[in-house]
């Protein structure tokens, strides 16, 4: 096997750091990729091309939701797996706040295999499991926009001990988990029975 259309390589269209049509790792290695802006566009391309192996980079950026509020990307990937496709998704499991990033927690639950890569903390050298967003050299605020595409000028690896976020995670949490749309009022913690952050 391995003819045209057998393997599809995709990335979210938001990632234009090194060019629209490539996945580029920090070491400089490159692979051609098709940019897509939504889970539905990804699915339509895969169906039209008849691919059996699908690689998707920047999975955390697929934040579009279905009418029930669940991530469309999770539905699409689940459907592809159910059709027998081999699917590899790369992405950050936590956002800059240290909370689950978009659909990634649900995708990890679906995965047959998980590979976690770690950098070294830029502060102390310990294994880094967090992404520190910096704004003018200082930790970002919890209520800053979720998406900010950037590289080492904006982000650095941090361990749990050295990771910092300014402000309260309480107001940010429901948007991070996709539990409500931005125009809906935030429920009080008493209404939802959630712990206070």
Domains, in order of start, for the chain? 1-91 (3.40.50.300), 117-182 (3.30.60.20)
Radius of gyration of the chain (CA): 18
Residue 5: per-residue pLDDT: 61
Residue 84 pLDDT > 90: yes
Tokens representing residue 64 in the block? 């579009």
pLDDT in tens, 87-140: 999 998 998 888 888 899 999 999 999 999 889 999 999 999 998 888 888 888
pLDDT at position 194 is 43
Indicate the average pLDDT of the chain.
81
Total residue count of the chain as it appears in this document:
197
Q: Is 58 a catalytic residue?
A: yes
Q: Which residue has the higher pLDDT, 152 or 165?
A: 165
Task: Return the pLDDT at 72.
Answer: 96
pLDDT at 97: 87
pLDDT of residue 80 exceeding 60: yes
pTM for the full model? Answer: 0.76
Query: What average pLDDT score do residues 59-85 get?
Result: 94
* Active-site residue, selected from the candidate residues 22, 40, 58, 153: 58
Dump pLDDT digits (tens) for 31-53.
899 999 999 999 999 999 989 99
Q: 121 — phi, psi (to 5°)? A: -55, 130
Structure confidence by residue, pLDDT tens digits, 8-34? 999 998 877 767 788 887 677 888 999
What 8-state DSSP symbol labels residue 181?
Answer: -
Which two tokens mark 148?
């900010």
pLDDT > 60? residue 176: no
- H or E, element range at 53: strand 53-57
143 vs 13, higher pLDDT: 13
pLDDT category at 190 given cuts 50, 70, 90 is very low
**What are the residue ranges of helices labelled H in the chain?**
39-49, 72-82, 104-110, 170-176, 189-192
* pLDDT band for position 148 (cuts 50, 70, 90): low
23, β-bridge pairs: 31
Q: What is the pLDDT of residue 168?
A: 67
DSSP 136: T
pLDDT at 183 over 60: no
Question: What counts of helices (H) and strands (E) characterise the chain?
Answer: 5, 11
Specify the pLDDT at position 160.
92
Q: What percent of the chain has pLDDT over 90?
A: 50
């Amino acid at each position: 096997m391995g003819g045209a259309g057998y393997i599809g390589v995709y990335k979210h269209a938001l990632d234009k750091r090194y060019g629209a049509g490539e996945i580029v790792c920090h070491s400089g290695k490159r692979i051609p990729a098709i940019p897509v802006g939504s889970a539905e566009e990804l699915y339509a391309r895969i169906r039209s091309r008849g691919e059996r192996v699908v690689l998707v980079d920047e999975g955390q950026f697929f934040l579009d939701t279905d009418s029930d509020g669940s991530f469309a990307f999770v539905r699409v990937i689940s459907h592809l797996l159910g059709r027998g496709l081999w699917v590899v998704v790369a992405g950050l499991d936590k956002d800059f706040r240290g909370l689950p990033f978009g659909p990634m927690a649900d995708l990890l639950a679906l995965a047959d295999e998980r590979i976690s890569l770690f950098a070294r903390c830029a502060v102390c050298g310990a294994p880094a499991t967090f992404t520190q967003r910096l704004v003018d050299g200082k930790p970002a605020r919890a209520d800053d926009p979720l998406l900010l595409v950037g590289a080492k000028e904006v982000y650095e690896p941090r361990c749990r001990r050295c990771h910092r976020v300014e402000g309260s995670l309480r107001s940010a949490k429901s948007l991070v988990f996709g539990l409500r749309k931005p125009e809906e009022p935030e429920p009080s913690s008493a209404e939802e029975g959630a712990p206070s952050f």
